[in-house]
Amino acid sequence: MAEDHGTLWEVVRDVVAEVAPGELDYVEGLRLIDDRTVTRAMRRRRGRNEPLGFGSTDLVLLATPIVWVVVEHLVTRGTDTLIDRLAKGVRSRFGKRQADRRVPRQDLRRIARLRRQVEVEARRRGLSEEEAAAIAEALLQRLELKDERTGPPER
Amino acid sequence: MSGPRLAVDTATTLRFAQLVALMVVSTGATILEARNLLGGNLPRQNCYRAAGVNAEIDTTANSADSWSRNADAIAACLEQYPAPSMWLAAAWIGLLLAATFLLFKAMPKWKARRGRYVPLELVPGGQAARERIEELAEALELGDVRKLTVVVDPVAATESAVMFGSNRRPRMRMHRGLLDARSAKPDTFDAVVLHELAHLKNRDLTITFLVIAMWRVFVWLVLVPYLVLRTDLFLDSVRYYSWATNLIGINLKNIAATGVLAVLVYLSRTEVLRVREIRADQTARSRPDVWPATAAQGEPGRWERLLSIWRVHPDWNTRRASLERPESIRRIRPFALALIGLATVIMLYRLQFAFTEIPWPLVPALLTAALIGAVAASAILGVYITQAVTLNDAAPGTGAAAGFWFGLGMVLGLPFVDGLFSFTRLPPHPEFALALVATTVLFGWWLSETARQWTGAGVSAPRLAVIVALSLPVLTILLVAWRYWSGFFNGLYVFYDTDYLYTQWGDIVESNGGDADGFAVKALYLVSPALMATAGPLLFAMITLMWAAAAVPRIVPPLRRRFEPLPSGLKPAIAGAAVGLAGIVTIRLVLGRFDFTHAADLYSIERSMYSWSSMAALFAGAIVAAIAANTGLSRLRLLNTLVSVYLAIWGGFAGFLLLTATDGCLGPMNVYETDCGWRTGFAWPELSMSFNLLVVGALVLAAVTAASGAAIRFALHRFARRSQRPVLYFHQSGRRDRPAVPVAIALVLALAVCFTGWREQHYLDMLLTSTADPGILEGSVEREGERPPELVAEQVRAWLDGGGLDLLERFADDLTIMDDATAAYVSTPEDERTLDQLNAVPEACDRMTATVLDADDYFEIPDTALQQMWSDFLDNVWDRAVTCADEFQTVIDGGDGETWATAVRELREETIPEYKTLTESISAVFA
């Protein structure tokens, strides 16, 4: 068994390919820039009001931001100290490309929390419960986590 | 480029320029103010404080009073401490400009930085997108766009793009979503890219990002430090000067003014950018085959509309409407005009502050400040109003409405910048500020009709320039007049209800044998505001320009074909002049019956009766002309009325001059003279009050009559339910004037111009050479109550520090020397006494006389009781010290020395206790 699930980008691409193949082109483009820049943009909820821009148009993305934010959490959670995060933040802000970050293998105990995170992100972006469940399912599958319980998720 | 497009672009560019100018001016003024607040100008500020002039804390009345009593001492003190140089302001402005330039250069690099954005060529599908961009640029006739750098934001999923950089080095950042849309939704891709390229074509980039860069620098380099300083001062004023409510008010006002300035610049910027966005849409749409305008979205909610003024982009409905009806962009937008008015008033006052810091004479400094402020405002307003009134369906009253919103913006700005207002104090008659709205309404109306008259055959760049050039002097004089009225020299809304004015009139009437509290004084007091308001410099010049510009096509027949002609002919003017002249003839017949031949004095009451009644007759003629000019016309109503009224007045005035000059040859119409002759001796002051009232009053008359005429016409149309609008466009007049008509009009105009020149020369001479009474300069000598004791302590401390203590010490030293020497002399046994022992006494007395003279040149103590004591003390010392110094010689010469001895005894027994009482009283102020 491999030590990890691959890079952050690879995991997101695979999950998006499963639940929203239309967004694959977009995900492809994300490979060109730094992960942290992508994360910051994914967390931003409304577009910037740029002078001499065309103005706001419809946001067409649905699944990618949700998957990215949740998976990115798995990458950074508990592994970066505050200093690491500050340094990386500064580095990404000034355009230094970071090495691709990899998604570590996950414990089965994280299943419920992952589901919850997907649900929260999906609700925030206006997706239905079914869509959230589908995304969560695809993500768990990619992370090779099988949910064998039948009861309600633990709180 | 067509006219309207040119007008829209010019208007927004000028507004950007106004924002830049506002930021530069505010930077200079703010840094000078900060320097003063931090004590960088302390010696000069102390010159005022020691004199009891402390307008920020004190009442206006007390400050004005102290100023007028200490004017010479203040001038002498200021001369001692020259004004600090202006290098600080220059350096700070230089810093602002340099930082702006650096930020302007850095912003594009930041906005396109690697690691976050990817060059278009590196993105899959980028090459094809680049080719399409070049095709679209060609369709837009943009020329070579190879210099255009395009980067992609791979994260942004929206179908949008943004331009930045400069016109010379443009950059476009394309959102990933737009790139993806190129194959799926090619129309959308084209629409967005064309919109962005249109910004390039309209040359929006450099100016937009320059203003943005300057704004950011301005916030951090000027506004924030100033706000910190003011807040600190505010807290200080609450902590240590809680008794000085006005100081707290002024600090609060200045903090609020900073906020207003920030909001104003921000809103103006977003407003102008929204117009630029719409213009970009329209430019893109100029290629409808490639710009499908698919971009219609839902209706905005109420909050969305409210928030939209803060946003750079217009809402989709506005964008769609501007494409369906491109001319809608040229409509008058109240919000924009109010912002321009607000910016103008802030700029005017900041300029005024900065210019009074320059060591220039006050009047030229203030005039220059008003001129610069007006140049900025008139250029913008001129273009705005012209573009609005040249719309096919421009509503009647568009120009007046524009003037109203502009004036309202100015009035709303006044409380934040005018020193007479603060959150804790208002001038006695703040409602006079509304006169500003009335003047700007008149200006807007006049300018709109002038623009309509001059652009009857269409807008072109030269015509636009001429209209703006015409509006410039008119608005400048209006603004100067406004400053003149509102506190420049004779503050109208402060001065109006003062006892001072009433007393002045009373004195004048009483000196002529009248009742100081009688009807004449009351009447003069009532018309005082009108007399003061009409005595402003350059007002005649402005009025002559206003009607002469409209009459020019009449004088130069070739122009008539290219201008919208004035609808009514010369009949109203002739009727008005005839009525005026008939009145003057009647007056002469009546006055001829009295024996006024002894009235040689040009300023006598007999002469005044003739001039006042003649001007009244001419005004009656003007009323006739105004009413006649307003019957049955709907176009160019104000201009038509103005031309008729002033032709009538100046035509009648020509007759008045003729009759006055030939007095003595007119038989029963002779008034003052019995010998026939040609007399042109004429004194302006004799005529000034009545003639000022006539000419400036006629402007109000013309405006009111034209407004009433328009209102009646409007009401009649409503009543008759006739909905068709009057056609406002070019009418070719078939009539041709007889050759004598242009000559006659030109002659009347020439008279008006000559007389105007004469009058203005008089006023300008007076304005620039006279030294205004400082009490009047301050605007008010109203008594507003005693100074609070804490303020007295502050000012007395400044009085002591500024030289008062030195004077007191000099007296103390000399009195001690005098006392000691005399005491030593007295205590010496009589047979051992010599006069040499007393030599020090007359020397000390001599020095004391010099000290008294210095004290006379120094400020009065800013407390009535103390000043009385000080004044008595100085008088007594002077008398005794002079005797003591001068009479000693008689003692040496062997005289009895009784006078000298008495003076010295008084100095010892009375002056020294007086001195002690005085110093104790001064100390008691600080208790």
Instruction: Write down the pLDDT at residue B31.
Output: 85
Reported as a pLDDT band with limits 50, 70 and 90, residue A94 is: low
Q: Compare CB distances from A30 to B155, B277, B313 and report the shortest one's residue.
A: B155
The whole-number pLDDT of residue B302 equals 63
Q: Which residue has the higher pLDDT, B724 or A16?
A: A16
Look at strands A4-7 and A102-104 and give their pairing. Answer: antiparallel
Contact B154 A30 (CB under 8 A): yes
Q: Which of B109, B114, B158, B199 has the most A C-beta neighbours within 10 Å, making it the best mutation to test the interface with A? A: B158
Q: What is the mean pLDDT of residues B390-399?
A: 70
Which one of A32, A44, A54 would you mutate to disrupt binding with B, by most B Cβ within 10 Å of its Cβ?
A54
| Higher pLDDT among residues B609 and B100, named by residue | B100
Instruction: Specify the higher pLDDT residue, B719 or B293.
Output: B719
**Residue B683 neighbours by CB distance under 10 Å:** 11
| Of the candidates B467, B475, B628, B355, the residue with the CA atom closest to the CA atom of residue B3 | B467
C-beta atoms of B276 and A29 within 8 A: no
- Of B909 and B729, the structure prediction assigns the larger pLDDT to B909
Q: Give which of B116, B202, B276 to mutate to test A binding, by max A Cβ within 10 Å.
A: B116
Which of A78-92, B302-316, B672-686, B763-777 has the highest average model confidence (pLDDT)?
B672-686
Which of B407-416, B462-471, B904-913 shows the highest mean pLDDT? B904-913
CA B813, B814, B817, B819 torsion-angle sign: negative
Task: Pull the structure tokens for residue B244.
Answer: 């000085």
| Torsion from C-alpha of B346, B350, B352, B356, nearest 10 degrees | 160
Q: What is the pLDDT of residues A18-41, one digit of tens each?
A: 888 888 878 888 887 777 778 877
Measure A147 CA to nearest chain B CA, in Å. 32
Q: Closest Cα of chain A to B223: distance in Å?
A: 22
Give percent above pLDDT 70 in chain B.
Answer: 82
Contact A29 B154 (CB under 8 A): yes
Instruction: Kindly tell me if the per-residue pLDDT of B723 is higher than 60.
Output: no
Contacts of A25 in chain B (CB under 8 A): 124, 180
Instruction: Please state the rounded mean pLDDT for residues B453-463.
Output: 72
Q: In this predicted model, what pLDDT tens digit does every residue of B863-891 receive, in sequence order? A: 888 989 999 999 999 999 999 888 888 87
Question: Which of A136-140, B161-165, B523-527, B694-698 shows the lowest mean pLDDT across its residues?
Answer: B523-527
Task: List all residues 6 or more positions away from A99 whose beta carbon is below 8 Å from its beta carbon.
Answer: none
Q: Which residues of B touch A64 (CB under 8 A)?
A: 157
Tokens of B585: 């003839």
Q: What is the per-residue pLDDT across B539-584, written as a single tens digit (0 to 9) for each?
A: 898 899 999 988 887 787 776 666 776 766 788 899 999 999 999 9
pLDDT (tens digit per residue) in B687-706:
788 888 999 999 999 999 99
Contact between A33 and B118 using a beta-carbon 8 Å cutoff: yes
Which residues in chain B are contacts of A35 at CB distance < 8 A?
A: none
Mean pLDDT of B773-783: 42
Tokens at residue B319, please?
């964008």
pLDDT tens-digit readout, B783-825: 455 677 888 888 888 899 888 999 999 999 999 999 999 999 8
Number of CB pairs, chain A paired with chain B, less than 8 A apart: 113
Count other C-beta atoms under 10 Å from residue B598's C-beta.
Answer: 9
**From B113, which residue of chain A is nearest by alpha-carbon distance?**
A95
Q: Which residues of A touch B200 (CB under 8 A)?
A: none
Q: What is the mean pLDDT of chain A?
A: 75
Asked whether the beta carbons of residue A50 and residue B312 sit closer than 8 angstroms, the reply is yes
pTM equals 0.74
Provide DSSP, B618-653: HHHHHHHHHHHHTSS--SSHHHHHHHHHHHHHHHHH
Q: Cβ separation of B155 and A37 shorter than 8 Å?
A: yes
Contacts of residue A36 in chain B, CB cutoff 8 Å?
A: none
Q: What is the pLDDT of residues B397-437, one digit of tens each?
A: 788 888 999 999 988 888 888 776 766 667 667 777 888 89
ipTM for this prediction: 0.73
**Amino acid, single-letter form, for residue B781:** V
pLDDT-derived band at B604 (thresholds 50, 70, 90) equals: low
- Among the partner residues B159, B209, B312, nearest to A49 by beta-carbon distance: B312
Q: Dump pLDDT digits (tens) for B95-144.
A: 999 999 999 999 888 887 776 788 888 888 888 999 999 988 888 888 77
Cβ-contact B590, B580 below 8 angstroms: no
Kindly report each contact of residues A72-78 with a partner whose C-beta sits within 8 Å and lies 24 or more positions away, as own/partner. Answer: A72/A8, A72/A35, A72/A39, A72/A42, A73/A117, A74/A103, A74/A104, A74/A106, A74/A110, A75/A8, A75/A35, A75/A101, A75/A102, A75/A103, A75/A104, A76/A101
Q: Which residue among A25, A49, A53 sits closest to B161, beta carbon to beta carbon? A: A53
Q: How many CB atoms lie within 10 A of CB B680?
A: 7
| Residue numbers in B near A32 (CB within 8 A) | 118, 122-123, 154
Chain A contact for B122 (CB, 8 A cutoff) = yes
Strand partners, A4: A104
Handedness of CA B505, B510, B516, B521 (dihedral sign): negative
Q: Is B524 on the interface with A (CB under 8 A)?
A: no
Chain B (297-356) residues lying within 8 Å, Cβ to Cβ, of chain A: 311-314, 316, 319
Q: Do A33 and B155 touch (CB under 8 A)?
A: yes
Residue B738 or residue B737, greater confidence? B738
For residue B732, the model assigns a pLDDT of 42
Task: Out of B160-169, B244-253, B653-662, pick the least confident.
Answer: B244-253
- Cβ pair B160:A54 closer than 8 A: yes
Q: Is B434 helix (H, G, I), strand (E, B) or coil?
A: helix
List of chain A residues whose C-beta atoms are within 8 Å of the C-beta of residue B177:
26, 57, 59-61
The reply to whether B180 touches chain A by the CB within 8 Å rule is yes
Asked if B116 is an interface residue toward chain A (Cβ–Cβ < 8 A), one would say yes
B117 part of contact set with chain A, CB < 8 Å = yes
Smallest Cα distance from A98 to chain B, Å: 9
Residue B724 has pLDDT above 50, yes or no: no
